[in-house]
Chains A and B, each alone.
Chain A
């Protein structure tokens, strides 16, 4: 379950050590924008140690490495891949080739360290116009790609417009990316909300992202995590409906019926898949700590 993904600066021990207590489903240890060039080496070692020696309870660990147009990305992978992080996030991915380059390098490392191939997954960061246009190719460029991630801030710089709270300027990119991700059978994550101090606006932004089909949403501020979790958690209505669907299927099976209808609508494969996912999430939420979503 990845409803919320929280960026944490990779060179700030104070923040990293409490990373898993902030309620996010995943933390993104950032070696890129949050770390100045003079500290790239130290950050890399710190993140490597954090992953190998600290236990991140109840949350996944994603590492954002530096982009292909720097000298750092290879060293980042050298340091991090052996630790088998949950996901690696390469930034500024603009085309399938970008993915292939990284894929090959990781494959070499997996071989060198005796890791089963394709263990390390990727979540490419789409933050250029080119990347948006090539979303589908990027999503299908490698078996490692597990999701697409939208980076609104840098994208608007590339689009030559302002990044706003309302988000009209990234609307096309959002929709295109979600469509490409779903077509490729991978997840889609939305860009952070721009206003750290707006505790109401985050709800609207997250709701909108959910309505477009995003799997979850990222944040640079811990304050937004609870709101994002709440929005992307299935509602009681969703959960009840999901159980209804599964029940309808069970009954139909018993009665030997082929086509199944619920409330006058045909239940086909995507609806079943959705229902199963919802139930899985609901169960995971029950198992988890009692939810910060009250």
Chain B
């Protein structure tokens, strides 16, 4: 064959043999600027294909048209690791018959590879590709950096279609996914909106409470015994998590600590840490901003890794297993240290594990930073509305009114208490919160299951039910 280029997306879909009831997959590296998922689903709808399962590593507000396809029967089932609030709301209100299957960023590739979630046609949005399908996210007007989450799809789907808006001559020199996995290549006008693509990062928080928690988080790390040469670290993209990274960087530079690697979810702040000499390398499964994309392009110490290598629990090992510290967020935490990142306190889906459970399971120290209450709702409850990450994997909870350490980690608790940090029992944190906010009534649990939360090991962690009408 001279090349795999196909003139139109429709033609590619026809050639792939996509039929009713099959599974299609997408990565989310174009984040909220993605056009591809909608493009493909619209075409499938126009072709009268119905009952599809959509396996998307994450779904954002830009993917709202998906709900229309659900209602019209084009989409029967959704498998994902994260779902933004706008889409989540529809799901919580019960728009789908079949419950959504939530996995994690490590559990997804694992399920694909083990054959639990087979993919018929994988659609790989690629900011740069040659006519044989060697492609990458590092170049092009829609550059998104790492294509980490696309690897398992490319390597395991029955048919693989690369969709690009930047066709380059063969052979693409700096490829991420090789042609050996690709069946068809389609060139389109635009695969996404650059403004929405690298919209992942917030800035370092300016909220004084966030800064105080971030400083305490850095102190916890400092006194954990893990902050020494060879240290490895991952942080979330939220404002307080980034601030914690900044404070940590200051400590590392001051004490001349040479870390081994930074992991993530890479932002410009992590790139700064790399360039400042805090780490030997960055292992990147996803770029959150243009600084990260640029660094991935130009710095050999900034390396792209696949989702499997990042966090798969069934791989012989994954990077999360070698991680020292991870900083995470939470919408709720219960007195057993179980964490909820799937729903808000009313039960509406507005998130998902992403890499939460994977990093929490792998890291030696998993830390949650969260304000003690958000708009009168205490963060700490008796039982989370949904278990996203089990308590056994969470070590520390940092709030502005105290730090709770998981009782199973007595040594850490003693260390931190010695260091003068405000260590408080988790039950006490709950009491402190409730003294301020009052005791909240538990909202009514709705009837129907609308989503399953599947843990890293493939077993069912929790079930999310529909939200009953609360009468606004």
Contacts and interface: CB of A to CB of B under 8 A. Distances in A.
Q: Are any A and B Cβ atoms less than 8 Å apart in their complex?
A: yes
A289 B197 CA distance: 43
A57 B424 CA distance: 14
A22 B212 contact: yes
Interface residues of A, number: 16
Contact of A54 (B211, B212, B219, B436): B436
B420 A289 contact: yes
B420 A21 contact: no
Interface in B186-222: 208-209, 211-212, 215, 219, 222
Contacts of B211: 222-223
A292 B215 contact: yes
B419 interface: yes
B421 interface: yes
Given A17-B436, A54-B436, A290 B419 contact: yes
Interface string A266-291: 00000000000000000000000111
Contacts of B209: 18, 21-22
Interface centre among B209, B212, B422, B436 (most CB of A within 10 A): B212
B215 to A, nearest CB: 6
A21 B215 CA distance: 13
A54 B436 CA distance: 7
Contact of B208 (A54, A223, A290, A294): A223
B400 A18 contact: yes
A192 interface: no
A22 B436 contact: no
Contact of A21 (B219, B400, B421, B435): B400
Nearest to A23: B212
Contacts of B419: 290
A160 interface: no
B419 to A, nearest CB: 6
A111 interface: no
Nearest to B372: A21
Interface residues of B, number: 15
B422 A21 contact: no
Contacts of A55: 435
Interface in A209-239: 222-223, 226
Contacts of B215: 226, 292
Given A21-B209, A21-B212, A290 B400 contact: no
Nearest to A294: B219
Contacts of B10: none
B208 A222 contact: yes
A223 B205 CA distance: 12
Given A21-B209, A21-B212, A22-B209, A290 B435 contact: no
A223 B435 CA distance: 27
Contacts of A23: 212
A294 B221 CA distance: 13
Contacts of B421: 289-290
A105 B208 CA distance: 37
Interface in B414-455: 419-422, 435-436
A226 B208 CA distance: 11
B421 to A, nearest CB: 5
Nearest to A226: B215
A226 B421 CA distance: 16
B420 A291 contact: yes
8 closest Cβ pairs, A-B complex: A290-B420, A222-B208, A21-B400, A289-B422, A290-B421, A18-B209, A22-B208, A21-B209
Given A18-B209, A21-B212, 11 more contacts: A17-B436, A18-B208, A21-B209, A21-B401, A22-B209, A22-B212, A54-B436, A55-B435, A57-B401, A226-B215, A289-B422
21 contacts: A18-B208, A18-B209, A21-B209, A21-B212, A21-B401, A22-B208, A22-B212, A54-B436, A57-B401, A222-B208, A222-B211, A223-B208, A223-B211, A289-B420, A289-B421, A289-B422, A290-B219, A290-B419, A290-B421, A291-B420, A294-B222
